[in-house]
Amino acid sequence: MALAGVRVIELAGLAPAPFCGMILSDFGARVIRVDRTKVAMTVDTQARGKQSVALNLKSPKGVAVLKRLCLQSDVVLEPYRKGVMEKMGLGPEDLIKENPRLIYARLTGYGQSGSYAKAAGHDINYLAMSGLLSMLGRSSEKPYAPLNLVADFAGGGLMCAFGIVLALLERSRSGQGQIIDASMVEGAAYVGSFMWKSRSIGLWNRPRGENLLDSGAPFYDTYRTSDGKYVAVGAIEPQFYQQLIQGLGLDDTDLPSQMSVTDWPQLRQTFTQVFATKTQAEWGQIFDGTDACVTPVLSQDEVLSHSHNQARGSFLKDSQGEISPRPAPVLSRSPAEPCGSRDPFIGEHTRPVLKEYGFDQAQIEQLLSAGIVECNEAKARL
């Protein structure tokens, strides 16, 4: 796999950093997640392929153990607010001095500088600060955050993984590691560059929810079908829009012009009435195989059985029966090989990892008895 041989130390975080770690693991990196001790369960639901070491970083000996892990690793990924790692003596200066090849990835909400750098926050806050949240929501409704998708994952975990791969590539030429300052505000905004760079063509010059791509246009929206399900319509171009009208059994000459913005409410009403006359499957029989850009709105469970997704194997079922998306994109020669076994328990791999990283039996026992590390192999054998 593309990242085979890359060794990552992931400090346990909430959601963005775990997603970043899972991406790296899916594409072949060895990801060791460092969990706190005395914690019963992990919140990392994106732990596919990872190993877990439980380590108390509130103790100097625990800090020394982490330094030794980072000394022999390629990447350290930390999900804490600005200054936390420095406070523990684990800042970039501390670690890169000992391992100049180390790639030190810092995934935060607001970045390592600026007045908000030390403030707590979550996806919705970062999305709000990115300028994108102000654009999300239907006309006359308040802005809404689309799950915690845009800042936590698109602009956070994924963007950080991209930064790590860039730094690995650069290191292959320079031999040097570097610090990645991954701010979710900036990552989300960067993902949304189109929203800024297309203002000049007037795509966003109307109020929220009244533009072509923000639920304003009736030919770019969702519609309820007679069985209470929905279809998505994305017939933007005239040639696709004509196929939409044809599939709906409407006569274009009876309708206002597609781009007559003032007539969009009336056009939406017409589409709403027509889509309500058939089931989602019936509309699928009408529109599948055409360029009308009409697709079923599938649930998280329905995605697995849709013929298109099935043909590609777009979704996986692991050994625990959990359905989840397969890694993307698909590389032709070195594709991801996501691990199918269960996620690790906290501290499940403490002993074998410490041994692999050069700690002898006596040192490991000493760390265990002092509570610096925890080992939960027994739980794993149940």
Which residues form the catalytic set? Answer: 122, 152
Q: How far apart are CA 283 and CA 295, in angstroms?
A: 9
* Binds ligand L4ZMGOQ5 by CB under 6 A, chosen from 30, 50, 81, 349: 81
How many residues touch ligand L4ZMGOQ5 under the rule CB under 6 A: the total is 26
**Among residue numbers 6 through 35, which ones bind ligand L4ZMGOQ5 (CB under 6 A)?**
11, 13-16, 34
CB 362 within 8 A of CB 62: no
* Binds ligand L4ZMGOQ5 by CB under 6 A, chosen from 32, 47, 88, 161: 88
Nearer to ligand L4ZMGOQ5, 53 or 336 (CB): 53
For 28: left if phi > 0, alpha if psi spans -120 to 50, otherwise beta; the answer is: left
The site map against ligand L4ZMGOQ5 for 97-116 (x = CB under 6 A) is -----------xx-------
Q: What are phi and psi of 235, to 5 degrees?
A: -85, 75
Token pair of 286, please? 């009408």
The Cβ-side half-sphere exposure at 217, using a 13 Å CA radius, reads: 19
CB 23 within 8 A of CB 105: no
**Among residue numbers 48 through 67, which ones bind ligand L4ZMGOQ5 (CB under 6 A)?**
55-58
In the complex, least distance from residue 166 CB atom to ligand L4ZMGOQ5, rounded to whole angstroms? 21
Token pair of 136, please? 């999300």
In the complex, least distance from residue 83 CB atom to ligand L4ZMGOQ5, rounded to whole angstroms? 8
**Among residue numbers 122 through 161, which ones bind ligand L4ZMGOQ5 (CB under 6 A)?**
122-123, 148, 152
Q: How far apart are CA 326 and CA 315, in angstroms?
A: 5
The Cβ-side half-sphere exposure at 381, using a 13 Å CA radius, reads: 4
* Residue (of 303, 305, 248) closest to 275 by Cα position: 248
In the complex, least distance from residue 12 CB atom to ligand L4ZMGOQ5, rounded to whole angstroms? 6
Nearer to ligand L4ZMGOQ5, 127 or 292 (CB): 127
CB 38 within 8 A of CB 19: no
312 counts as binding ligand L4ZMGOQ5 under rule CB under 6 A: no
- List residues near ligand L4ZMGOQ5 by CB under 6 A: 11, 13-16, 34, 36, 43, 55-58, 79-81, 84, 87-88, 108-109, 120-123, 148, 152
